[in-house]
A and B are shown apart, each in its own frame.
Chain A
Amino acid sequence: MERRDTVQLGTQCGPLQRIARLPFSIVLVLPAQLIMLLVVVVPTLIVVWLSLTDWQPTDNIPWFKAEFSWFWNFYDLLSDERFVGAVLRTLFVVALCVSTELVLAVALALLFLDEWPWRKVAVSVIILPMMVVPVDAANAFFMLFNDHGPINQLLSLVLDRPFEYAWLADPHWALLPIIFAEVWQWTPLMFLLVLTAFLNVPRNQWRAALGLGATPAQAFFRVVLPLSLPVMLVAVLIRAIETFKIFDVIYILTRGGPGATTESISMYMYNGAFVYFRMGYVAAAALLVLFVVVSVCLALFKPLQKHYE
């Protein structure tokens, strides 16, 4: 393609003139780049610095004068059972949530492939969860899982005995309401993506399969599903990345408690920074997490990118 990216914008004075001399293409991305620089790049550099110190506000020294402590933070982190627990727990939650969302989404999408009179209404109701502010949804689940809440009431009816379990105070089961809330809220998104993928499978392929004697079920598994796989994979990846950052739900429901039994990585870092104020330590944790996330995503993205280009 011809490079026609320089443009004359007249002869104003000063910085405008200098910007005018830049290639037009650069000028266009300047606003975005500047914002990213300020809000993302500079803070990341600060994180790198902080992770090599043990800065705490109670030391009453400005952060750039904090005492250097080399790589001790990283060393301590790797043997910190609370941090390792948070990482493993987050990976567990991501795996459980995303796989549950995918299965439910596929099942739901199957129900919506056909047309029937009130289909549009049904779709609108099903996608309602993802249009509720996450904080408010979390509050709703807080009320639902209350000792005297409807979930316990329904369980009492099923089990035929009074059931007043304090879900959110139990170190073993407190993750359940959290996973519930997360799956409830985001299955509709997966559902939409999966349904769109199913509906976009070219009709000829489907017709051909049926023509060759396949049953609808076989045609589905052998034709529709494989062709939808790329979209489903993207959906899974998107949801995995978002679930990895899970924070709002946990903050509202348990704050990471009881103890540290429902702490995700984000909750751990929030507690570390804003409750315990160990900011140097948390910066090191943040760096470790960033490193892992970016390398995993790059490793996964390269083949996907090639697939799309």
Chain B
Amino acid sequence: MQNDDEAQKAVDRRSFLKSAAVGTAAFAAGTSLLSWARPAKAAGSLANVQSDAARAAKELAGGRVVTLRILEPSGSLGNIKPVADRWTADTGIKVEYIEVPLGEINQKVLLEAVSKAGSFDIALPASFGIPDLAESGILVDLDQLASKYEPEGYQDSIIYKTANYYKGNFYGYETDGDAYVMFYRKDWISDPEEQKRYADRYGITLKVPDTWEELDQQLAFFHRPESGRYGGALFRSQYFIAWEWWVRFHAKGFFPFTDDLAPQINNDAGVKALEELAAASKYLYPGARSNGLFENFEAYGKGDSYANIGWGGTQKYLNGDKSGVKGKLTYGPTPGGKVNGTLVRTPYFNWGWNYVVSSLSKEQEIAYLFTLYAVSPTLSTIAVRDPGGYFDPFRDEHYKDPEIIKLYSKEFLDVHEASMRGSIPDLYLKGQGEYFDVLRVNVQAADVGQKAPKQALDDTAREWDRISRRIGRKGQTVQWRFLKGLYPQAARSHLV
């Protein structure tokens, strides 16, 4: 029985990695399509990129006292400071930090477009906000500077770069690997008693779930509040709830829009996904509806829930000293769904941070050089190594670094890497914030029982139409069709 399970797991993992590899190829094709518009690369080798960048910046600064101001989300200082300190040592240019709560940084950057205060040179907005920020004019189009300074092959090892580009222009380097990943209690799954009980009740083996239906079943199975155990931690609070629905919906085989930008989110699959999400809420720990990111880490770290969903940052905590579940976890990609008999997986890159340069900055070239420096293979590895922040592996090199492997554990990194390579892009359209805000409010309303799921999604679809109309349907449709092409081939071939 055990060997079969192992073999089965191996087969599943292999097939997943295989589709992920295909996905990578498609990705590379997709992004090279994106880069066709950029002029030829400058001379200068990848191996010396940080010294070259530092030297260029020092020259530009001349003898002046230059300070770069970075607008960063609170909690990321641990990942930026080691890099910035080296930068100051290499160039003499000081770095100042302006900290903003992490849920608000995109709004702060957008507010700059209105208030024109010029209070920062570099910012780290969440990747899904790049389209809106680019449209508002606050981001510098970095194509020119990149063609001047970026060496050949610099972006090759960055696994997920979709958010770096919008409408063919380059706006900043992705500096975080935020693919959604699942966490499970290895000791509970491999417990022979639990396995027997599960097999008896459901007739299938207890293993890392492939589909959302399987996961929901396992959540119900492990939910034993009388003995202080919960099915899952997960998220049901407003900022996070729509992301789970997004994956559940895609796993049923649909894109959020048709080719004519008509919303499909309120079709039967969407409603079913929302119903299943709301049904699963019963098997979550009591804080799921009110807790944010760090509370989720702590709660799951206590060890009384079976499953969790999260990012590399989650693992940084769970594999650390404060956590009670270190060494007890196994990992999996976000579950997929059976579409026409085939298992379709849709891992989701749903956060991320990009280094961008403010169009109000008086030192745009130096600012760009800093981002080039910070995201270079060597220095980005140093950044990701720091446990005091939430930058996760995003370059091939990171997965081979011994310190990073120790920090995250090899098992986790395997799943993380595969999810990164095969992930579907976020809704990189103008108005992303509006689309998702409406979705969040309505999904949460359905989850707490205020609205029926069909009603919630119908309201969302109606609002989405209104938003599309206000933004301009024609341009938006073109942009959506382009975005559809960026979905990895493995997923795209099964979605409708």
A258 at interface (Cβ–Cβ under 8 A)?
A: yes
Assembly CA distance A293 to B430 (angstroms): 36
Main secondary structure of the interface of A (DSSP, over half): loop
Closest chain B residue to A61, Cβ basis: B137
A275 at interface (Cβ–Cβ under 8 A)?
A: yes
A164 at interface (Cβ–Cβ under 8 A)?
A: yes
A58 touching B111 by the CB < 8 A rule? no
Smallest Cβ distance from B227 to chain A, in angstroms? Answer: 15
Determine the interface band of chain B, counting residues with CB < 8 A from chain A.
20 to 34
Assembly CA distance A54 to B450 (angstroms): 31
B457 at interface (Cβ–Cβ under 8 A)?
A: no
B448 touching A258 by the CB < 8 A rule? yes
Assembly CA distance A275 to B434 (angstroms): 9
B114 at interface (Cβ–Cβ under 8 A)?
A: yes
A274 at interface (Cβ–Cβ under 8 A)?
A: yes
Main secondary structure of the interface of B (DSSP, over half): helix
B136 at interface (Cβ–Cβ under 8 A)?
A: yes
Closest chain A residue to B236, Cβ basis: A169
Chain B residues numbered 235-255 whose CB sits less than 8 Å from any CB in chain A: 237-238
Q: Which of A166, A168, A259, A274 contacts B450 (CB 8 A)?
A: A259
Mask, B116-156, CB within 8 Å of A = 1, is: 00000000000000001001110000000000000000000
Query: With A58-B430, A168-B290 given, is the CB distance from A258 to B238 under 8 Å?
Result: yes
Chain A residue contacts of B441, Cβ below 8 A: 259-260
B492 at interface (Cβ–Cβ under 8 A)?
A: no
A58 touching B132 by the CB < 8 A rule? yes
Closest chain A residue to B450, Cβ basis: A171
Smallest Cβ distance from A250 to chain B, in angstroms? Answer: 15
A301 at interface (Cβ–Cβ under 8 A)?
A: no
Chain B residues numbered 296-323 whose CB sits less than 8 Å from any CB in chain A: none
Most buried by B among A57, A60, A166: A57
Query: With A169-B237, A259-B444, A260-B441 given, is the CB distance from A164 to B286 under 8 Å?
Result: yes
Query: With A58-B110, A258-B238, A259-B445 given, is the CB distance from A276 to B434 under 8 Å?
Result: yes
Chain B residue contacts of A258, Cβ below 8 A: 237-238, 289, 444, 448
B287 at interface (Cβ–Cβ under 8 A)?
A: yes
Query: With A166-B289, A276-B434 given, is the CB distance from A59 to B135 under 8 Å?
Result: yes
Closest chain A residue to B434, Cβ basis: A276
Smallest Cβ distance from B483 to chain A, in angstroms? Answer: 17
Smallest Cβ distance from A92 to chain B, in angstroms? Answer: 18
Assembly CA distance A73 to B434 (angstroms): 17
B290 touching A60 by the CB < 8 A rule? no
B110 touching A259 by the CB < 8 A rule? no
A257 at interface (Cβ–Cβ under 8 A)?
A: yes
A257 touching B238 by the CB < 8 A rule? yes
Assembly CA distance A274 to B287 (angstroms): 28
Chain B residue contacts of A260, Cβ below 8 A: 441
Query: With A258-B448, A274-B111 given, is the CB distance from A169 to B135 under 8 Å?
Result: no
Smallest Cβ distance from B268 to chain A, in angstroms? Answer: 25
Query: With A54-B470, A57-B114, A257-B238 given, is the CB distance from A147 to B290 under 8 Å?
Result: yes
B residues bordering A, Cβ < 8 Å? 107, 110-111, 113-114, 132, 135-137, 237-238, 286-287, 289-290, 430-431, 433-434, 437, 441, 444-445, 448, 450, 470
A residues bordering B, Cβ < 8 Å? 54, 57-60, 147, 164, 166, 168-169, 171, 257-260, 274-277, 279
List 4 additional contacts besides A58-B135, A60-B137; criterion CB under 8 Å.
A58-B136, A60-B136, A171-B445, A258-B289
9 contacts between A and B (CB under 8 A): A57-B111, A58-B430, A59-B135, A259-B444, A259-B445, A274-B107, A275-B433, A276-B433, A277-B110
Give 4 closest A-B pairs by Cβ, nearest first. Answer: A169-B290, A60-B137, A166-B290, A58-B135
